[in-house]
């Protein structure tokens, strides 16, 4: 009886190991996958002791990648909320004006399924606040790129 239990356990463990899929996910400032990565985020992983189909992984990957991107940015996306925009501005570390905004995309690729794409996360504008050499430079998120003038009138 113990041998049968061990055999069944080995079958279930190997089946679970074989039925894994990963949704590789990163944020880029372009729809082009060859452009530099803005931020690598947690990759959603799927596994089950029953066969985990490519169809299921393909269906879940886009939304799961967008959710991982929002979590990595610390807020909501599409549009970027205050928390996500502030974190993105502090990562990009440069002024981004409404005349030339940065557009962020969550790129995804499902392992072993030949499925990839991207989802729009939002438009990013940031104001650089430099108060002098004795102070650190700050980057202020401009939500929805709505303010056309610098908050310090520069």
More confident call, 125 vs 18? 125
Q: Across residues 131-143, what is the average pLDDT?
A: 92
**What's the rounded Cα separation, in Å, for the pair 51 and 55?**
11
Q: Across residues 135-150, what is the average pLDDT?
A: 91
Mean pLDDT of 98-121: 94
In degrees to the nearest 10, what's the CA dihedral of 86, 88, 91, 96? -90
Band of residue 1 on the pLDDT scale cut at 50, 70, 90:
low
Strand partners, 26: 40, 107
Q: What is the pLDDT of residue 41?
A: 96
Q: What is the pLDDT of residue 17?
A: 44
pTM of structure? 0.82
For 45-104, write each residue's pLDDT tens digit: 988 766 678 888 899 999 999 999 999 999 999 999 999 999 999 999 999 999 999 999
pLDDT one-digit tens code per residue, 5-48? 544 444 444 444 457 889 999 999 999 988 999 999 999 998 87
User: Hey, how many other C-beta atoms are within 10 angstroms of the C-beta on 94?
Assistant: 10
Query: According to the model, what pLDDT value does residue 12 have?
Result: 46
The neighbouring-strand residues paired with 27 are: 39, 106
- CA neighbours within 13 Å on the CB side: how many for 19? 15
Alpha helices in 74-100 (DSSP H): 82-92
pLDDT for the residue 14: 41
Distance CA 106, CA 61 (A): 11
Residue 1 in 3-state DSSP? coil
The token pair at 60 is 């879940």
C-alpha to C-alpha distances, 32 to 36, 59, 87, nearest whole angstrom: 9, 22, 23
pLDDT computed for residue 80 by the predictor: 95
Taking the alpha carbons of 17, 66, 114, 38 in that order, is the dihedral positive or negative?
Answer: negative
pLDDT at 104: 97
Find out whether 39 and 27 touch, Cβ atoms under 8 Å: yes
The reported pLDDT for the residue numbered 3 is 56
């Amino acid at each position: 009886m113990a041998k049968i239990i061990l055999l069944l356990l080995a079958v279930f463990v190997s089946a679970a190991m074989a039925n894994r899929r990963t949704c590789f996910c990163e944020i880029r400032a372009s729809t082009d996958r060859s452009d530099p990565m803005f931020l690598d985020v947690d990759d959603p992983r799927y596994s089950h002791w029953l066969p985990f189909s490519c169809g299921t992984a393909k269906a879940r990957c886009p939304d799961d990648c967008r959710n991982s991107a929002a979590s990595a940015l610390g807020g909501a996306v599409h549009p970027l909320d205050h928390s996500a925009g502030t974190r993105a501005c502090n990562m990009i570390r440069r002024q981004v004006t409404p005349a030339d905004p940065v557009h962020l995309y969550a790129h995804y690729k499902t392992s072993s399924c030949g499925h990839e794409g991207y989802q729009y996360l939002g438009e990013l504008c940031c104001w650089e606040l430099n108060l002098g050499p004795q102070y650190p430079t700050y980057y202020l998120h401009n939500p929805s790129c709505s303010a056309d003038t610098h908050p310090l009138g520069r």
